[in-house]
A = this chain, B = another copy of it.
Amino acid sequence: MTDTHSKDPAQRLETSDIPLSQFLCFSLYSANHAMHRVYKPLLQKLGLTYPQYLAMVALWEQDGRLVGEIGARLHLESNTLTPLLKRLESLGFVTRVRDDKDERQVRIRLTGSGKELKRETTDFASCILAASGISLDELRDLQARIAALRDNLLQAAA
């Protein structure tokens, strides 16, 4: 005989039973901050912030994207991206040009120095692997699980 309102602790999941240290949201929040801190000294040499770096990675993968296309990759809107991309422009790493075919769109293109910057990131992956303190296989598995979680969360939020 099962009771959906059972007091059996194994059947209940109440927020107050969980310490902050075991909140999934807090672990994500603080791990993201920690990753930010590991990247900071690496990125300071390039003169980039963390979100600016992610936008550059998106452009190194495929140059000449629209603002909205970069936003789709990074899950960001123009209200965040426009100022960020203007800063990358003033740093001389990208150009922002309205499309001739559709004047609503702004196409972002890497400059020479923007392209060159990529070379200086070659060893970032091994720096992060070392800082993560886990094996490459474990890191890949964790990354995939976190990405799957993100996709589920986005689906639920929509």
| Chain A residues near B (Cβ < 8 Å) | 13-35, 37-40, 50, 54, 57-58, 60-61, 73-75, 118, 121-126, 128-134, 136, 139-140, 142-157
Task: Report how far A46 CA is from B103 CA in the complex, Å.
Answer: 42
Q: How far is the CB of A102 from chain B (nearest CB, A)?
A: 25
In the complex with contacts A37-B154, A142-B145, A61-B28 CB distance below 8 A = no
Q: A50: which B residues are within 8 A, CB to CB?
A: 25, 29
Majority SS at the chain A contact face: helix
Task: Report how far A150 CA is from B31 CA in the complex, Å.
Answer: 4
Q: A39: which B residues are within 8 A, CB to CB?
A: 25
Task: Report how far A101 CA is from B145 CA in the complex, Å.
Answer: 48
| Interface residue from B23, B24, B126, B152 paired with A133 (Cβ < 8 Å) | B152
In the complex with contacts A15-B122, A60-B16, A123-B15, A35-B24 CB distance below 8 A = yes
**Assembly of this chain: how many copies?**
2
- 8 smallest beta-carbon distances between A and B, as pairs: A133-B152, A131-B156, A31-B150, A34-B153, A37-B157, A32-B32, A27-B146, A15-B125
A57 close to B23 (CB less than 8 A): yes
Closest to A150 in B: B31
Q: How far is the CB of A130 from chain B (nearest CB, A)?
A: 7
| Interface residue from B15, B58, B136, B149 paired with A142 (Cβ < 8 Å) | B149
Task: Report how far A20 CA is from B60 CA in the complex, Å.
Answer: 10
B134 close to A25 (CB less than 8 A): no
Q: How far is the CB of A33 from chain B (nearest CB, A)?
A: 6
